[in-house]
Structure 1
Amino acid sequence: MVKLNRIYTRTGDDGTTGLGSGPRRLKSDARLEAIGTVDELNATVGLARLQADAALDAMLSTIQNDLFDLGADLATPETPEPLPYERLAITQGQVERLEREIDAMNARLEPLKSFVLPAGSPCAAHLHLARTVCRRAERVMVALARVEGEIVGRPALLYVNRLSDHLFVASRIANDEGRADVLWVPGASR
């Protein structure tokens, strides 16, 4: 269980931070960039929740908890030697839950005939912002996974890929089930 007695420790004053498994890394390290981007994503999901209806809010609440799991997964990279505690990692079950939610939401929507602009209701606009931050988190995590000696679990990568799709479909739900989507009109301003 997490227990925070002090908010500042001064241990990061040298430009480093500790991973969950103990080692310290520069705050500019690729792993810390991934963790920070996931944290930013979580904050943008929180903004969307301010405008969400009860059903969407419940899904987003679960996603925010998942994003803390993802941060813990990234903060405790797999190591050859066993840890003195169970490592928290994103699971295939969390990915599958997102897929079920995407399918259920998408079944309520008419197929798209154009790309959707990131606009519409305040909730939809915040969900589009979260979607773009999610895509950045995915890019950063993929880059981290390509660094020699760094491991990012496959379920974690699948999760962020599905989450961006989830946030897109949720934005359409928030736009009156797609009826208030703002569609791209190619070349309209020429």
Structure 2
Amino acid sequence: MELVRGADGLARCGWAAGSPVLLAYHDTEWGRPVHGEAAHLERITLEAFQSGLSWLTILNKRPAFRAAFAGFDADVVAAYDDADVARLMGDAGIVRNRRKIEAAITNAAACVALRADGGLERLLRQHAPVGPVEPQAATTSPESVALSKALKRHGFVFVGPTTMYALMEAIGLFDPHLPGCHRRGA
């Protein structure tokens, strides 16, 4: 991965170039901690929907995902039924993939059940790397493998090690920004 310099003169991780949406996400959200169950469920859901697609596609559809999945209220989404799946399959604003839609519902139910063990945020934070992580072209880590296994034990699906590595970057479990990026260490 390389740095790019934006029109504003700031150095950024190379993937943020070429789109104002990616640039804004990079500068304001990626690598920053999120708080609360809905914020974490949203990130897991979006990472699962991103699998096989571009992150830009998901970011562009994010408002529609938030509407379709009730602001990622786990109790509401966990109660979705076959009629809701059919409704979501007809929603052109989101990615219409039945397996991913069903995974979002399954994961919401797992999220609700996980409250008895301290909740989703606690589980995710328990898998944060100890010590600094040097940004690299990795797609998995021992921590993302362990997180994937822990989530699967709790009934989550579409949470493989690569998807969980991307989640860990996104929610700031470690600083994913390249040395020299204006967001590094911020």
TM-score range, shorter chain: under 0.3
TM-score (norm 1): 0.24
